[in-house]
Amino acid sequence: MNDKVNERMCVVCRNMYNKNKLLRIAKIKDSVIIDENYISGGRGLYICSIDCFRKATENKKMNRALKFFINDSLFEKAEEILNGKR
């Protein structure tokens, strides 16, 4: 099995990581969720670390894709999950 298949790009730093290390955020209809099990489908993006999540939060005004997904209420949950991956 090729590991590259499971690599995804962090939307903030644009490095490639195995998706197990990444936080997936998905948008389903009008709600944004943290997709812990990678099963929800819909539009999604990947973030590799809480630092990147923080940058995304700070930069969302400049990036329409991020503005679409990132909101402050997700931050605590994101931090908890990303810390769990370390």
CB of 34 to Zn ion, least distance (A): 16
Evaluate whether 65 touches 41 at the Cβ level (below 8 Å): no
Q: What is the contact surface with Zn ion in residues (CB under 5 A)?
A: 10, 12-13, 48, 52
* 22 closest CA partner among 43, 40, 44: 44
CB of 55 to Zn ion, least distance (A): 8
Select 20 or 31, whichever has its Cβ closest to Zn ion: 20
Select 1 or 62, whichever has its Cβ closest to Zn ion: 62
Six token digits for residue 7: 């690599």
